[in-house]
Every structure is written in structure tokens, then in C-alpha cells.
Structure 1
């Protein structure tokens, strides 16, 4: 991986995420016209907004970097030959999206050698763009992000996530354990956006027992470049399209998040 290769993709990823965010926002503003479909269960929804936004991202990537691979939530994986793979979720938080809530985002990541090296999260309803690249730091709307080590589970908020892959009892246990730590929690319906909030210092950590790479890779890059930590999420071979636990934290909350996730 060269600096020139990374910089070219970083600039493109920011532009692509902003364009995709504008398209998704247009759909959001006329969401009453969308036909909502379900996928795995009644809480797992999708619409033409998700599909067309991902198609736009894929077209832009293919035009600019035809040798790169691409993995997206709606259209799966296309292998590349360059060593770079774009990992995208066109609308993370589709349930809030279709219900008229602003807690959704466009997530665009680039991975190299199995690790996230670029992470862009556009939150159009909030007019925010989170951006990070390996060795180049993280920023929110151009302002550098640097995590405060004095923030802990006890004096901050922790994001949690759950879905049909997680049993109700395990969710209850997760909440109970966090409260026993004298912490508090929030869930806004978008894991990618809550990872961006960890990078911005709005949350001290995030834990979800089962997520896919397209939900978390952009957020991982943001958290790492802001000075935080995330638990390794393997994507080599068949693992690329499989789910795994997602844990990320500010420095002062890492040990507590590791305990919460059963890693310590």
C-alpha cells in the first residue's frame, strides 16, 4: 500500500459518501413513496433507497478503481485484484430511516490486507461527515478528532446494539452488566453511526454481539485514528461475509468494554 494509492482512495471515498448521502437523503425526504420489504425478519427491512444508493457507490468505485474489490450489504462481494476492497453499507439504520428518524448513515470503508484503512460515515440528516485514513487521523467536518482518556463507562454513555442473531436473554444480560458497572447505555438503530460517535467522543464505547463487516469497518478506522481501540474483526476468506462481535472503545473504557463483551 503506497501513500498515493491511499490518498487517492481517501479523497474518492469522501466524495462518494457525500454523493450517496445526498441520494439517500432525497429518498428519506420522500420516504412515504417507498415500498418497504423485509429480509430475514420483520425488523430487517430494505427499500429501493438502499439498493439504488449502493448501486451508485459501486458505479463510482468501479469507474475510479476498476481493479478494487467491493463488498456491500445489498449486492454482496465482487473480488478485485488490487488488494483493496471497498466495504459499504448504503443505509445503515434502515429501520430508523423508513420510520422517519434521523439516526441513519452511509458507511464507506476501504480495507487492505484485511484491515480497515479508510473509513467514511456520512450522516446526512445531521449534515455531518466523519472521515479517517490510516496514519492520517480522524476528523468530523474537517475538525480533528482525538479521544479523551479520562472518559470512562462510569462518566460517559455506551452504545449497544442487538438484532435477531442475538437472544433476548443475552441482550438483557448485556444491559444488566453495564448497569452494574455504573454505566448507562443508548441504542439509536445504527451501529455504524454509534461507532462514529465513539470516535467523536460522544460515546465511550460500543458493543454489539453480531454485526457484518459493512456495518463496522468504516467506524473501526475512525475509532482507531481518533486514538481508540477495537476488537479484531477477521474478514479473510469465507469470513468476509460472516458476522462477528463488534467492540470499540475510548482508551479509558477499553477494559470495561472487554469485560462487557466477555473478552476479559
Structure 2
């Protein structure tokens, strides 16, 4: 059963992602607000992903970022992000992805992330590790904290409820203990980089479910060191020293 679910997750991400790649660089059809962007490409990608998922698994529950709860009953629940990195997409920056996570009663069990411009495909299943373009990968490096590059993820609610000052303080604290902090506008792209050991850490502050479920599954199955210090924070790193330094900084 899970092999079929995994196959569907991959096909859905490819269907949405390939459409995004075709549209990337065209004239943008989007609505802009201070803290968000809604593009027609989001909806088009989501429609293609949902068509794949619901055709293969009509009995599964499905939540999609643009449509909300599409179906609410089922032993498995899909979380679909049709365009992670919309702001990047409409700005002509190639850092964006499609993502799907599948949850059971114990949490995320299957996930897929596709980065269309780079043609990078990540597939993860609980207990079976992470594959990048078909090959197993690990979140493993011996980079010390002072030479580490980490991504900082801030959820949409933080931008809306007056906690941006707190996020700024956390980001500054991370900068004090690392070489570079990347403010992530496309978390799934960075989760993939972490799973390959190319990015040294991820710090999330009240992140959005659409990216976090698949991200945490990628981190854990790739063998990253992880910590949940509370107050909406999640830390993952490619080695224990970096994880401890990040944890100390945000604590």
C-alpha cells in the first residue's frame, strides 16, 4: 500500500512541478499583499496535483494549501503544497518546489519534494530513509558551527500576529554562532539540501504545516540531529555540534 502512496506522491509533485517549470519566467498573474503572494500558478499546480492524488486514492483525506480540506475522511491524510516559494517564483528566482506529505495516525509516513528548475526529486518514507534522484542520501557533515550555513524559516502566522521582532532576534542570535543565515522563502528546497548534507542546519519558528511535515520527515530519515525546544521552534542539523549551537542560540 505505501509503495502505491509513495508513487502517487512522486507523480503528483512531478505533475505540478513540471507545469510550474513551463510557466516560470512568463508574465506573472498574481495578487500581492504585504506578507504573502497568491499566484495563478499555485492554483494550476494544485489542480494537477489533486487530480493525480484523488484519482489514485479517492478514499484518502486531502488538505491542499490553496483549496483547504478537499476530503476529510480516510486512514491517510495528504498535505499538499503546490508551490513552495511563490514569492521566489513570481520574482524570477528559481528556488521553489512542489511538495506532498502523507500522514497516518503516527505522523508523516511518506513525502516527496520536487524542485523543478534544478530537476531535483526527493522521496522519503518512514523507516526507509531519503532518496535523492533515486540514490540514498544522508544529512551528514563535520562542519563546525562557526562555518555552518543554516536556513531560518518563519511561518505565515508570525508575520501576521506581531512576532516578527522576536523572529528578528532569533535570526540575529543564529548569525552570532554561524557563518551565514539564509532567510528561507522556499523551505522545502532547503529541507532537500539539508537531507543531502549540503545545508548545515534548519531552524523553524512557528512554521507552516504545508512544508514542515515533509521537512521533518526528510530530516529524521536522513539522520539529522534534531531538537524541539518548545515555543514553536524546531532545530535540525547535519551534526550534533551544530545542532547544540543552534539550540543554544535560540534558547
Q: TM-score, normalised by structure 2?
A: 0.88
SS in 2 for 1:154: helix
2:46 pairs with 1:54: yes
2:95 pairs with 1:103: yes
2:28 pairs with 1:26: no
Aligned residues: 245
| Inter-CA distance 120–169: structure 2 relative to 1 (3 Å threshold) | same
Matches of 2:35 and 2:89 in 1, distance apart? 12
| Inter-CA distance 78–157: structure 2 relative to 1 (3 Å threshold) | same
Task: Note the 1:238-257 alignment, pairs <5 A.
Answer: 244-252=232-240, 253-257=242-246
- 2:247 maps to 258
SS in 2 for 1:211: coil
| Inter-CA distance 121–50: structure 2 relative to 1 (3 Å threshold) | same
Task: Note the 1:1-264 alignment, pairs <5 A.
Answer: 5-30=1-26, 32=27, 34-38=28-32, 41-148=33-140, 150-162=142-154, 164-165=159-160, 167-230=163-226, 244-252=232-240, 253-262=242-251
Contact 1:227/1:251 (<8 A) preserved:
no
Matches of 2:43 and 2:143 in 1, distance apart? 38
Q: Alpha carbon RMSD of aligned pairs, Å?
A: 2.3
Q: TM-score, normalised by structure 1?
A: 0.84
Matches of 1:188 and 1:209 in 2, distance apart? 11
SS in 2 for 1:248: strand
SS in 2 for 1:74: coil
Contact 1:198/1:206 (<8 A) preserved:
yes
Matches of 2:115 and 2:17 in 1, distance apart? 7
Larger fraction in strand: 2
Matches of 1:25 and 1:79 in 2, distance apart? 28
| Structure 1 runs not aligned, ≥5 long | 233-243
Matches of 1:71 and 1:246 in 2, distance apart? 23
Which piece of structure 1 moves more, 83-92 or 113-122?
A: 113-122
Matches of 2:218 and 2:30 in 1, distance apart? 31
